[in-house]
Structure 1
Amino acid sequence: MRFSNWPNKLTALWLAVLSLVGIVLLSMWFSKSIHIQTNIFALLPELSQDQQLEQTQHYVSEQLNNKVFVLLDAKDETQLNQATVQFKQQVQKSQLWQPLQAQVDTAAIGKVLFEHRAGLLRADDVQALTNQDYAALTEQGLLQIMSPGLPITADFLRQDPLLLFPRYVLNLSQQQHSAVEMQEGFATVHDERGWSRLFVLELKQSPYNIDYQEQSSDWMQTVEQKLAALDVKLHWTGTLRFASYGTHSAQQEISTIGLGSSLGILLLVWFGFRSLRPMLTEFIAVTTGSLVAFTVTHLVFGEIHLVTLVFGASLIGVCVDFSYYFMAIQSQHRGHNGFLILKPLLPSLFMGLLTTLVAYVFLSISPFPGFKQIAVFSMVGLVSAWITSILLLPRLPALNAALAIRTLRFIGHAREYFQTHKSLRWGSIATILVLGVTSLFWLKPNDQIQNLQSMDQQLKQEDQYIRERFSQQQSSDYFVVRGETTAELEQHEQQLIAQLNQLKTQAKLQGFQALGQWIPSAVEQRQHISLLQNIPKDVLREYAASMQLDAHDVLAWQAQLATQPILTLDQMKQHPLAFLQRTPTERLVMLQGIEQLDALKALNSPNVQLLQPVQSLSDLFKQHRIQAQWLLVAAMITLALGLGWVYGRAAILPLVLPVTLALISTFAVQAWLGVEINLFSLMGTFLIIGIGVDYAIFYRHGHDHAQVVGMALFLCMMSTFFGFGLLAFSQTYAIHCFGLTVLLGVVFAFIYATLFTSSDAKHVVMKKIQSEH
């Protein structure tokens, strides 16, 4: 009776804890302090590099993430212009975007360049001046003035008699894509496929804000419908679009997992106990665990990730293992007090909880914030659900599991057959080991970061179409150029530009974007002016005579060169590439169409560094996957030592062998199926360890009720099958790998625990229940 008093006290205490959690959760809700994170890359650890590079990567990421690129396709120019007007109006009416600005004000930029033209020369002219090949320089002027379609006025000739500036501007335009024109300040293309115009919308909020994603999606659909009346088609791309799809996909998966798991468990509990009451009790337990886990996780991390909820929807469901086991035993003692039945089962149930928690502890050791959060959520949720179950279920009348036990008696017969035929048992173990271990040599890893996020094929095609239409095969790689001073920075950038131009001519790089292409360094501009000042006056007089110019005007032009202003970034802030200057001593050079990466890596120096954010994260995945492999070995050793300390050395092999075989078989099957493993696959193995050892413990201690244990664990395995089976069909490759690994692992763990785990006659449950009664 002393034991029976404790449940009431513990229940009162647990209800007080749940009430406190409810108050905290409600206060968070009403204060709107709950933050659901949807940025998939928030799951990742920070890269191990210097702080400046981290800041640079964050800066580049922000520049790309806060934009949505919109392409309008029309059959003719009239349609496109009408659509442009209407699109501008829709943007202006909406409160979702920053005011729409022209991408390039060509007139303003042209004016600035002309006002600072003195030091702006194309490379051929600089070469001619350096070699004092003045004849070539003057010949270029003569050819230009004789070229049809080039309006040259007398006033322009007085300001630029050698026509250096038109050649400089022509050279700049040749560096750009000739098919792209700037019309009304926006990039426009027209060819045999029709007319296309590109707009860039700047976000007002984070692209990972769920409400903002929904509002922008609705707005996009409305705009598409309005412009469809003009027979104009829109294409969209940008982080907001991909993040919105990821959020929608995750929400769908949460619903699917919840519905699928509920239907699966519904069928299981009806099959097992001919009652739907366990659905209610499990709902109470899992809901309690989820709410407590949500509150604690949010308090610890300041937010909770949507992926954590996706995983948590299945992971907390592991608590049904304990419920099924208890209800199956209780069904055999229908007239007994529930807490008296619980008492002899508590050691096994508690050890089952501990082994699963150990798995989550090792999961939390991972440096990935996402895994830490999932581990905390799952540990808190599992403990809470377990406490709710053991305090609730014994208070309820026993259910009838006789039919399920009779139906599944073949499980007990199979176990008994293997237990009595030791040669068959050890022969099967040896065969599994040989086949499994040899199959592991065919297993291949895949550490690509792109596998982390679900990607809709249509969004991919839209993104690729926009890039292809405007010949912008932008790479995620870029150079960071630094200098102690601005002058040194400009010098290093010009050296890099020269090297990249060589790679372009060698077809090792399709293109690049750099501020130095538009703004030569101040030193370089002064050198150009000096070269122009060194032109002999006789050469200028002869040139003036051949061009029928006033020699006095030409000489006056040369004399005033020293007073001409130098072009700096301050005058070019409206240029679309101005963002490439992050600080006065750091610039970025964006790369396009990399053909030979090694050639670019060879350009690295103390002042010039190639950054590959995507590849760096993939390398980080590989590094942590290798660490996880060793962590897995450590977990198995720790588990073996812990079980040996609790149950004795003789229990280590029976309890550890089934889960070891399950891990080997899981990866062997994946090797046969051609499934590549990654960090998420390995993290799934820690759950296999926790769940699989539970099966072995229950069989080890249930020799006097093997048929009941077999039926209960079959239901446990099937409930896990439904939960993780749905994860295995996730559109996100990482979740798919995690779910598939756990799915295969628990099935194998159940089979091997049933067939190979030997019983321990010291543990007697049924007689203890009888004696307690």
Structure 2
Amino acid sequence: MTQRALAWLWAGVLLACAALLVSQLRQADFWDTRITALLPASDQDSLVQQADGQLSVAFEHRFVILISGPQPVADAKALQQSLRDAGLSAEPLTNRPDQALSAYRYGLLSDDLAAADNPQWLKRALTRLLLPGGSEALAQDPFGILDSWLGERFGASLTLREGVPTLQQGDQLWALVSGELTGSPYQMATQQKLTSALADFHAQHPQAQLLRSGLIFHAAAGAAQAQREMSSLGLASLLGLCVLFWLVFRRLRTLALLLVPVACGLLLALPLTGLIFGGLNLLTLVFGVSIIGIAVDYALHLQCQRELVAAQPGRSFWSALLLGLLSTLIAYLVQLITPMPGLRQMACFAALGLLGAWLTVRLWLARWPLSVHPATARSAAIIAPLRLATGQRWPWILLALLLLAALALSVGRLQFNTSLRQLNPSPAQLIAEQQQVQSSLQQPSGSRYLLVSAADQQGLLQRLERLDPALQQLLSTGELSAYQHPARQLPSLQRQQQNRRELRERYQQLLPQLSAASGLPERLQQQALAALDEAPLLQPTPWLSSPAGAADAALWLGEQPHGEWVAVVALGDATAAGEVVLQQLAQADDVLYHDRVTALSAQLARLAHSMASWLAAAVVLLALLLGWRFRGAAWRALLPPLGAVLLTLGCLSLTAGVGLFHLLGLLLVLGIGLDAGIFSAQEPDSEAAWLAISLSCASSLLAFGLLAFSATPALHFLGLTCLLGLAFTWALVPFARARRLDHSR
């Protein structure tokens, strides 16, 4: 088949990929944002998955705002109305289920009231009698059992002022605005609505102080930060690349041609990877962006070769470019045999992208009419002297010392750090606000919890009740900021019957004394006793299916396939001592402690360790391949990639550790370093190769190295690795091109 026919065939393949991609993007489930989807299925416990799913649905859409200032109640009403007008729900979080629980009050007895003596009960009833409607309330609930229960469960410190929940902390009064989003917190439209509403509120109420809690605030902050960095770092990178390529090539058409392989590589990789794996994880897309630097590398080598050496490069050039592709593919494809679905998907994406870029360079760009500008030759002449002089020893001694130091640091100090908390891009102020809100309202975050199981519904509620004293102790000592479980609002039937027996004894002892002290008729005693005897018990099913029990329903996992019943104890922040107690509670067979952040960090660690191990295996294979190809000159091909990786690891060992995004950066460094090394070994005296290598390193530094200045941790780690690694790659190429140690010549 002729080159022309192959070029048209490649165009047809890309058109088919474009059509496939369009159809895939219309599928709602094409993109996957779950990190757990990148892990082996055996690592994902189904019960934990169910709990994570229910908690995510329950907590992701909620938000809470505390307002303080000269008029917090009026400000809260204004903000509530503003959020409603914006199409966001803003209903009070603290709507207490008074009416829903009224009929079941006699089975609900607060700990404080149970511990009180008879005189305290009597005093409480007489105090309630003085309130408006006191005589009617005396017949229904003479001792305020329901109010005491709700106050203990839903926060006695919250009081209603003009229908707005308020919280008094010292001299400061906070009004509470809360609700549930009508849209996803990750949707840009929802974020923009909330951000605009809060901005308008700040403009109209400049003296109001706001404390925010909710996933949407973190998502909006991350999106705003990304937009700022796109307009600053992105613009700087784009301008830098345009200036760099313009200074060297001076042709707009050439600048556009350099991007064609990148676009074609992504066009091949996106739909085919999605087709193979049934979708695409966003982390894979982040990883796949790293192929851009290598894809541009192919085009740069071709352009420099055509302008400085020959309009139609010969077999030697294409064999070097093909070897560069194959060696980089080995680094990626070796990960296809790992047990990690995430690594296999990433490797497939990168391999397809690089293959698409290489084929585009070979079949299209090589046939494109050449337009030469003298600036290219001048640029090559400027950097041509940047090579080691024959006979110089001190640069080699310095290089050996640096490599030995990097090796010692890597072996002695390098460690993995895949903590998810380290990757949290949220501003410190927003994190502090959320912690203050959760602490003030005693709200669990949903990021850590206990899974409790039992043989049946009532056994499950009883087991939760037995855990309560230990959790309450942690709460009272400040070792735990908050906790919540269904049995706090839904006592077991055993506990309800016990409460009713105690209430009956209290009624029989205290109602005559209350009537005598208050002068109320005796018939009210009979009505109160009759109401106690006739009251129903609170059952799980009606409570969990009611609007008042919606929060508990999110913590109720129900009956499992093996017949056990499971519920969640949602926990707030815990101190180190609190973590120890929680771990001790989880030593029981029917209790499991799960920290979602720690678990995801561990999963990322496994992903990073697996990637590092298979990357090391790929390096060994590459060393054997390049040793076979170049024999005595193999050191030229290996020095830029392996030396740069080693020096970068040595520098990173002085930081907090190496994580997943550092490894993604190292793969980019390895790929560009391999191309640089192969062309240095193939054509050590070629000015075209040296110019292409320099442009490749410089362009990748501008595209990825600037990310080192990003405030987003993941991008910062990726950028820092590229900044160091690509700088080292370029600095090592003169050693690989040196005449002094070329024993093969």
The residue that corresponds to 1:694 in the other structure is 675
Kindly tell me: are residues 311 and 258 of structure 1, through their superposed partners in 2, closer, same or farther at Cα, counting changes over 3 Å?
A: farther
CA shift for structure 1 position 549: 7.3
The residue that corresponds to 1:115 in the other structure is 103
Alpha-carbon contact 1:73-1:194 (below 8 Å) kept? yes
2:694 is the counterpart of 1:714? yes
The residue that corresponds to 2:402 in the other structure is 432
The residue that corresponds to 2:319 in the other structure is 347
Alpha-carbon contact 1:76-1:195 (below 8 Å) kept? no
CA shift for structure 1 position 310: 5.4
CA shift for structure 1 position 459: 4.0
Amino acid at match of 2:5: K
The residue that corresponds to 1:503 in the other structure is 474
Q: Distance in 1 between matches of 2:633 and 2:744?
A: 12
Q: Distance in 1 between matches of 2:626 and 2:158?
A: 70
The residue that corresponds to 2:648 in the other structure is 666
2:288 is the counterpart of 1:292? no
CA shift for structure 1 position 145: 4.2
Alpha-carbon contact 1:451-1:732 (below 8 Å) kept? no
The residue that corresponds to 1:579 in the other structure is 553
CA shift for structure 1 position 60: 0.5
Kindly tell me: are residues 452 and 370 of structure 1, through their superposed partners in 2, closer, same or farther at Cα, counting changes over 3 Å?
A: farther
Q: Equivalences for 1:217-236 in 2 at 5 Å?
A: 217-218=192-193, 220-222=195-197, 224-225=199-200, 228-229=203-204, 233=208, 236=212
Alpha-carbon contact 2:36-2:600 (below 8 Å) kept? no
Q: Distance in 2 between matches of 1:535 and 1:27?
A: 71
2:25 is the counterpart of 1:53? no
Alpha-carbon contact 2:79-2:201 (below 8 Å) kept? no
| Residues 159-200 of structure 1 deviation map (CA, whole Å, 9 limit, x = unaligned) | 66xx5x425633652565444223466532356776543333
Q: Distance in 1 between matches of 2:134 and 2:44?
A: 56
CA shift for structure 1 position 59: 0.8
Amino acid at match of 2:323: M
Kindly tell me: are residues 651 and 275 of structure 1, through their superposed partners in 2, closer, same or farther at Cα, counting changes over 3 Å?
A: same
| Residues 284-309 of structure 1 deviation map (CA, whole Å, 9 limit, x = unaligned) | 22233333333334444565566655
- For this pair of structures, how many residues does the alignment match? 725
The residue that corresponds to 1:387 in the other structure is 359
Q: Distance in 1 between matches of 2:205 and 2:398?
A: 71
Which of the residues 245, 263, 277 maps onto 1:269? Answer: 245
Which of the residues 186, 193, 197 maps onto 1:208? Answer: 186
Which of the residues 584, 587, 592 maps onto 1:609? Answer: 592
The residue that corresponds to 2:93 in the other structure is 103
Q: Distance in 2 between matches of 1:26 and 1:593?
A: 44
CA shift for structure 1 position 53: 1.6
Instruction: Look up the SS of the partner of 2:385 in the other structure.
Output: helix
The residue that corresponds to 2:12 in the other structure is 16
Q: Distance in 2 between matches of 1:35 and 1:535?
A: 59
Name which of structure 1's ranges 71-80 and 603-612 shifts more when overlaid on structure 2: 71-80
Kindly tell me: are residues 279 and 111 of structure 1, through their superposed partners in 2, closer, same or farther at Cα, counting changes over 3 Å?
A: closer
The residue that corresponds to 1:627 in the other structure is 610
CA shift for structure 1 position 409: 1.9
Kindly tell me: are residues 38 and 394 of structure 1, through their superposed partners in 2, closer, same or farther at Cα, counting changes over 3 Å?
A: same
Name which of structure 1's ranges 377-386 and 146-155 shifts more when overlaid on structure 2: 146-155
Alpha-carbon contact 1:364-1:371 (below 8 Å) kept? yes
CA shift for structure 1 position 55: 0.6
RMSD of aligned Cα (Å): 3.9
CA shift for structure 1 position 645: 4.6
Alpha-carbon contact 2:106-2:535 (below 8 Å) kept? yes
Which of the residues 444, 448, 456 maps onto 1:485? Answer: 456
Alpha-carbon contact 2:20-2:271 (below 8 Å) kept? yes
TM-score, normalised relative to structure 2: 0.84
Amino acid at match of 1:381: G
TM-score, normalised relative to structure 1: 0.82
Q: Distance in 2 between matches of 1:608 and 1:393?
A: 63
Alpha-carbon contact 2:425-2:713 (below 8 Å) kept? yes
| Residues 556-597 of structure 1 deviation map (CA, whole Å, 9 limit, x = unaligned) | 865775543112342473156433542343322222342321
The residue that corresponds to 2:333 in the other structure is 361
The residue that corresponds to 2:377 in the other structure is 402
Which of the residues 277, 299, 303 maps onto 1:327? Answer: 303
Q: Equivalences for 1:528-543 in 2 at 5 Å?
A: 528-531=499-502
Q: Equivalences for 1:524-563 in 2 at 5 Å?
A: 524-531=495-502, 561-563=532-534
Name which of structure 1's ranges 196-205 and 734-743 shifts more when overlaid on structure 2: 196-205
Amino acid at match of 1:528: N
Instruction: Look up the SS of the partner of 1:599 in the other structure.
Output: helix
Q: Distance in 1 between matches of 2:100 and 2:353?
A: 63
2:658 is the counterpart of 1:677? yes
CA shift for structure 1 position 218: 3.8
Alpha-carbon contact 1:701-1:763 (below 8 Å) kept? no
Same amino acid, percent of matched pairs: 26
Which of the residues 280, 285, 291 maps onto 2:256? Answer: 280
Q: Distance in 1 between matches of 2:249 and 2:409?
A: 40
Amino acid at match of 1:181: T
CA shift for structure 1 position 689: 2.5
Alpha-carbon contact 2:211-2:433 (below 8 Å) kept? yes
Structure 1 residue runs without a partner (length 5+): 129-135, 765-773
| Residues 723-761 of structure 1 deviation map (CA, whole Å, 9 limit, x = unaligned) | 221232233212221222133223223333431467898
2:717 is the counterpart of 1:746? no
Instruction: Look up the SS of the partner of 1:411 in the other structure.
Output: coil
The residue that corresponds to 1:731 in the other structure is 711
Name which of structure 1's ranges 189-198 and 475-484 shifts more when overlaid on structure 2: 189-198
Instruction: Look up the SS of the partner of 1:509 in the other structure.
Output: coil
Amino acid at match of 2:459: E
| Residues 257-290 of structure 1 deviation map (CA, whole Å, 9 limit, x = unaligned) | 6644443333333444454443121122223333
Q: Distance in 2 between matches of 1:538 and 1:193?
A: 41
Amino acid at match of 2:16: L
Amino acid at match of 1:684: G
| Residues 58-84 of structure 1 deviation map (CA, whole Å, 9 limit, x = unaligned) | 11011111223344445226633xx52
CA shift for structure 1 position 120: 2.7
Alpha-carbon contact 1:68-1:238 (below 8 Å) kept? yes
The residue that corresponds to 1:131 in the other structure is none
Name which of structure 1's ranges 627-636 and 503-512 shifts more when overlaid on structure 2: 503-512
2:448 is the counterpart of 1:451? no
Q: Distance in 1 between matches of 2:477 and 2:431?
A: 30
Q: Distance in 2 between matches of 1:527 and 1:306?
A: 54
Kindly tell me: are residues 469 and 546 of structure 1, through their superposed partners in 2, closer, same or farther at Cα, counting changes over 3 Å?
A: closer
Kindly tell me: are residues 533 and 41 of structure 1, through their superposed partners in 2, closer, same or farther at Cα, counting changes over 3 Å?
A: same
Q: Distance in 1 between matches of 2:384 and 2:661?
A: 36
Alpha-carbon contact 1:104-1:182 (below 8 Å) kept? no
Q: Distance in 2 between matches of 1:537 and 1:23?
A: 80
2:176 is the counterpart of 1:198? yes
| Residues 411-469 of structure 1 deviation map (CA, whole Å, 9 limit, x = unaligned) | 23x1x53xx55x65763453123211222223454221133353245544553564466
| Residues 468-515 of structure 1 deviation map (CA, whole Å, 9 limit, x = unaligned) | 664647462222222221110111000011221233344433442233
Kindly tell me: are residues 367 and 186 of structure 1, through their superposed partners in 2, closer, same or farther at Cα, counting changes over 3 Å?
A: farther
| Residues 586-615 of structure 1 deviation map (CA, whole Å, 9 limit, x = unaligned) | 322222342321011111122222221011
Q: Distance in 2 between matches of 1:473 and 1:66?
A: 15
The residue that corresponds to 2:222 in the other structure is 246
